[in-house]
């Protein structure tokens, strides 16, 4: 893709937006069709879950302007909330002026847990597990030949002692498994179930739970960005400067400090990050509950829930941001390979590995966080929200086509965004 900047995309009719995507990413008519009506037929949904009766649609939008590690990316986002796609696109545009997003990932290592109960001697069992580590890893390594072929497999074994619990002390064995381009739950769960009898024989205990941990803190993704302070200036009506760049930058840092120190604010701050993260996770058919669980557990890893991102200023006065969080996403297996829209979404971003995808997602999370903080630190969140909300209210009142913008604009000008007012305006238009 030559550029993720498509000026005027917002104003194009839907069909022309699809043409632009086809042009930019070489999507075929079938792939574009997958973006229509959720992209999944009832027949395709049927074998995916039990008792299927149909599918459930969400709006799919494209975030523009993203430059991630020097690569142009058009980002598909499945989300019902207005302002999110626009916010991400606008912040990606600002970030471009500072070189875009720089992102990286650790190795795609997931953690599988085995809970070992009824161990006669916890210390001795722990030592024995360490003695048998190489043998246990070798056995776990044979479980998924496909992962092995692509360079994945068992990496390490850790033993933890839970000294106090409602059922007394017990051991926990962590199997660290490199899952390459998979989300990894299946491989890790299978490996834990397979190792359990050996762990029982070695420890003399009973392996109770055998399951992946969603606190995937060995599979992290990190994004950073730098926004030149000049780009943060906000100009209002008649070209009058309403907020200087320094003021916006410092306001964003003050807003972040609130989230860094107060869990009540941190929950909302991180929710804003997840607006961006989840939207891409869902659009690519990945497990957003796993990502949510990992994100919030990671945010509380030091015993106090805090912000997932950090914002500050560099020596030149630029605003600098960083987001690091677990990112257990895959591009093989599960819905990523069965859901036609998820397949098209992956093709649109031209991701070659799960790490590529994780790097894009964490960049979108950082952009989304910036959009929220910038709005909150200046004119407040409602102004931007209102105009989009007004469109939805206009539609609810029966507006169609060009009427939608007209009714919405009038309601925003009146500062009254309600269905009854929309109906009145609509009547006056007719
Ligand atoms: C709303 O969906 C998200 C925000 O509340 C995030 C934030 O407060 O940082 C605007």
Strands (E), 247-367: 309-313, 319-326
Q: Is 83 helix (H, G, I), strand (E, B) or coil?
A: coil
The whole-number pLDDT of residue 235 equals 84
Which atom of ligand 1 lies at the shortest distance from residue 84's CA?
A: 2
Domains (range + CATH), the chain? 9-106+219-379 (3.90.770.10), 109-213 (3.30.70.420), 384-429 (1.10.8)
Which residues does ligand 1 sit against, CB inside 6 Å?
Answer: 81, 268-269, 271-272, 275, 372, 376, 381
The whole-number pLDDT of residue 238 equals 67
Residue 98 Cα to ligand 1 midpoint, Å, equals 24
Nearest CA to ligand 1 atom 1: 272
Residue 269 Cα to ligand 1 midpoint, Å, equals 6
Active site residue 118: no
Average pLDDT over residues 350-354: 95
Q: Kindly state the percentage of the chain with pLDDT values over 90.
A: 80
Q: Is the pLDDT of residue 91 over 70?
A: yes
Instruction: Mention every residue, 6+ apart, whose C-beta is less than 8 A from residue 260.
Output: 266, 306, 307, 310
* Residue to probe by mutation, ligand 1, list 251, 252, 254, 275, most atoms within 8 Å of CB: 275
Residue 218 contacts residue 176 (beta carbons within 8 Å): yes
Average pLDDT over residues 283-304: 97
Active site residue 278: no
The whole-number pLDDT of residue 85 equals 97
Residue 161 pLDDT grade (very low, low, confident, very high; cuts 50, 70, 90): very high
* Residue to probe by mutation, ligand 1, list 269, 321, 370, most atoms within 8 Å of CB: 269
The whole-number pLDDT of residue 369 equals 98
* Residue to probe by mutation, ligand 1, list 272, 274, 323, 370, most atoms within 8 Å of CB: 272
Residue 319 contacts residue 249 (beta carbons within 8 Å): yes
Residue 116 pLDDT grade (very low, low, confident, very high; cuts 50, 70, 90): very high
Average pLDDT over residues 256-275: 98
Which atom of ligand 1 lies at the shortest distance from residue 375's CA?
A: 10
Least confident of 189-203, 288-302, 352-366, 368-382: 368-382
Compute the mean pLDDT over every residue in the chain, rounded to the nearest whole number: 94
pTM: 0.92
DSSP 355-372: HHHHHHHHHHHHHHHHHH
Q: Is 69 helix (H, G, I), strand (E, B) or coil?
A: coil
Residue 259 Cα to ligand 1 midpoint, Å, equals 12
Which atom of ligand 1 lies at the shortest distance from residue 369's CA?
A: 9
Residue 298 Cα to ligand 1 midpoint, Å, equals 19
Task: Give the residue from 200, 174, 212, 202 showing the smallest Cα distance to 117.
Answer: 200
Q: Say which of 385, 405, 406, 423 is annotated catalytic.
A: 385
Average pLDDT over residues 297-301: 98
Least confident of 82-86, 162-166, 389-393: 389-393
Q: Is the pLDDT of residue 237 over 70?
A: no
Active site residue 287: yes
* Residue to probe by mutation, ligand 1, list 88, 381, 385, most atoms within 8 Å of CB: 381
Residue 173 pLDDT grade (very low, low, confident, very high; cuts 50, 70, 90): very high
Q: Say which of 128, 133, 174, 271 is annotated catalytic.
A: 271
Residue 260 Cα to ligand 1 midpoint, Å, equals 15
Residue 290 Cα to ligand 1 midpoint, Å, equals 21
The whole-number pLDDT of residue 260 equals 98
Which atom of ligand 1 lies at the shortest distance from residue 381's CA?
A: 10
Q: Say which of 72, 141, 287, 324 is annotated catalytic.
A: 287
Long-range contacts, 317-320 (Cβ 8 Å, 24+): 317/229, 317/246, 317/249, 318/98, 318/226, 318/227, 318/228, 318/229, 319/226, 319/227, 319/229, 319/232, 319/249, 319/252, 319/253, 320/224, 320/225, 320/226, 320/227
Active site residue 43: no
Average pLDDT over residues 66-93: 96
The whole-number pLDDT of residue 39 equals 83
Residue 126 Cα to ligand 1 midpoint, Å, equals 45
The whole-number pLDDT of residue 387 equals 75
The whole-number pLDDT of residue 113 equals 98
Task: Give the residue from 101, 105, 81, 6 showing the smallest Cα distance to 276.
Answer: 81
The whole-number pLDDT of residue 388 equals 76
């Amino acid at each position: 893709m030559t550029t993720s900047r498509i000026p005027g995309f917002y104003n194009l009719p839907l069909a022309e937006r699809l043409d632009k995507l086809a042009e930019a990413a070489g999507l075929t008519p079938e792939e574009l069709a997958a973006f229509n009506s959720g992209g999944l037929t009832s027949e395709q949904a049927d074998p995916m879950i039990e008792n299927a009766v149909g599918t459930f649609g969400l709006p799919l939008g494209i975030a523009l302007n993203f430059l991630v590690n020097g690569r142009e990316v058009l980002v598909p986002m499945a989300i019902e909330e207005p302002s999110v796609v626009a916010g991400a696109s606008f912040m990606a545009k600002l970030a471009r002026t500072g070189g875009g997003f720089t992102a990286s990932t650790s190795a795609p290592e997931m953690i599988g847990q085995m809970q070992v109960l009824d161990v006669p001697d916890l210390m001795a069992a722990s030592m024995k597990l360490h003695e048998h580590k190489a043998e246990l890893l070798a056995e776990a390594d044979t479980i998924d030949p496909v992962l092995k072929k692509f360079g994945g497999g068992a990496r390490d074994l850790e033993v933890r002692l839970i000294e106090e619990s409602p059922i007394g002390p017990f051991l926990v064995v962590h199997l660290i498994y490199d899952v390459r381009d998979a989300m990894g739950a299946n491989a890790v769960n299978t490996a834990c179930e397979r190792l359990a009898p050996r762990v029982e024989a070695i420890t003399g205990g009973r392996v109770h739970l055998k399951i992946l941990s969603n606190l995937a803190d060995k599979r992290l993704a990190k994004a950073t960005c730098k926004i030149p302070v000049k780009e943060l200036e906000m100009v209002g009506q008649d070209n009058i400067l309403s907020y200087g760049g320094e003021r916006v930058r410092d306001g964003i840092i003050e807003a972040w400090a609130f989230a860094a120190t107060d869990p009540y604010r941190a929950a909302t701050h991180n929710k804003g990050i997840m607006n961006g993260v989840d939207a891409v996770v869902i659009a690519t058919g990945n497990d957003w509950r796993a990502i949510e669980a990992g994100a919030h557990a990671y945010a509380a890893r030091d015993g106090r829930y805090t912000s997932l991102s950090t914002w500050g200023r560099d020596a030149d006065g630029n605003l600098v941001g960083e987001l690091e969080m677990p990112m257990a996403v895959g591009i093989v297996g599960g819905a990523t390979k069965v859901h036609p829209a998820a397949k098209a979404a992956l093709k649109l971003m031209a991701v070659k590995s799960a790490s590529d995808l994780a790097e894009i997602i964490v960049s979108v999370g950082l952009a989304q966080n910036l959009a929220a903080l910038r709005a909150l630190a200046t004119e407040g969140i409602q102004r931007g929200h209102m105009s989009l909300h007004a469109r939805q209210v206009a539609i609810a009142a029966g507006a169609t086509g060009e009427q939608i913008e007209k009714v919405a604009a009038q309601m925003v000008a009146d500062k009254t965004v309600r269905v009854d007012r929309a109906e009145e305006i609509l009547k006056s238009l007719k």
